[in-house]
Amino acid sequence: MKSFSLFIKIFLLIGLLTGCASESFIKDIYVNPVASFTTTKTEYEVHESVLFTNTGEAQKFVVYPGDSLHKYNVSYNTGYATASNGTFSFAYNEPGTYKAIWVASSINEKGEIITAVDSTQINVVATNGGLDNFLIYNIYKMTDYSSAIFFSSTGVSISKDTILCPILFDAWRPSLAVNSIKAPQLINFRLASSLSKFIWVDNNGLEREIKTANSASRIVNFLKNGSLAVQQFIVKTASGFNSNYYIAPVIIPKMTKFTVNGINGTITRDIAYYNRYNVSISLPTGTDLSSIVPTFEIMNNDVNLVGGNIEVTVNGVMQTSGSSVLNASGKTLIYNVKSYLLGTTNNKLNQESIITVTFL
């Protein structure tokens, strides 16, 4: 019995000494946490890698980038452990302003977790605001090419928030027919983030979400009071960042009538270019081509398209239908027609056509 009692005492003594050694060991390796970190810059593009680098001290480091699923002290949100060298890389998939949190932690000899926190603001931007491309899909069936060819208008950025979409005049039909610019349009677009939403602000000021290339989203109408008008769109990110866009449909101007001395010319599109036309006109033998006064119409003089927004020039000289005198002795005249979007003051919202008139 004495031997057993002695064994118990020795065991307890060893346990006590071992426990003391363990606490001493923990105390020896304990590092008072200091949270401090750096990033190479404060503004990044969407999907650009952000490198976090530790400049503090602790046994463990965790990063909360601040996006929708990784916010500090928010339920069900998690952080990321850094690499063993104290670095961590992360790419944000939406533009916005994020508060990144760096948590440094250590365990003391009492088993308590001691933490320290540092933070920084990271600005994530998209050069195009989150809208990668914009397309008005299959507006016009181009029968002058073939029965299966359609014209789709590809948007061109002319400023940070304004996109111009050239439209063929042939799409401007008198009735609300399918594939006419007067009908609701099918829109194709690509957003920088799949979590973002694309919103059309209709002419009543209502926000209506649209899905790319979805027939149910054929709701966007570019008309206001019968005329083409700039439309507002919004990219809304899951992080709450909104970018406004203004999409301007501008008709590529077409000369729809050309007459000299009561004789009409025949107008055809250049097969290789959307904005070039050819006019052929046959005048009676003996007509003095050195002094002619053409009469012309641009886009049928439609009041919903044409006003003081049309410029017609030959060799840089402004032309007026029915009064400008021209010398066509060379049998060819080149007209330049520039059309600005009716009802706007933005002179970047324009399209230009070249019309070659040949006298036979």
Q: What is the CATH number of the domain that holds 274?
A: 2.60.40
Number of domains in the chain: 3
Residue 142 belongs to what domain range?
131-252
Q: Are residues 248 and 265 in the same domain?
A: no
Starting at the edge strand found earlier in the chain, the sheet holding 37-39 runs: 37-39, 49-54, 87-91
Is 253 in contact with 168 (CB distance < 8 Å)? no
For residue 59, is it within any domain? Answer: yes
pLDDT value at position 177?
62
Reference 135, options 168, 170, 95, 163; nearest CA is 163
* pLDDT on residue 331: 96
Q: What is the pLDDT of residue 147?
A: 67
How far is it, in rounded angstroms, from Cα 134 to Cα 178?
20
**Is residue 1 domain-resident?**
no
**0.75 cut: is pTM over it?**
no
What's the average pLDDT block by block, 10 residues per block, for the chain (360 residues)? 45 47 60 95 90 96 94 95 94 88 94 95 82 92 76 93 95 72 92 88 95 95 93 88 93 97 95 93 95 97 94 98 97 97 94 97
Secondary structure letter of residue 300 according to DSSP: G
Can you give the pLDDT at residue 6? 44
281 and 213 part of one domain:
no
Q: Which of 226, 252, 278 marks a domain boundary?
A: 252
| Main-chain phi, psi angles of 13, to 5 degrees | -65, -45
pLDDT score of 196: 87
Instruction: Kindly state whether residue 6 falls inside one of the protein's structural domains.
Output: no
Please report whether residue 21 resides in a domain: no
Q: Are residues 144 and 103 located together in one domain of the fold? A: no
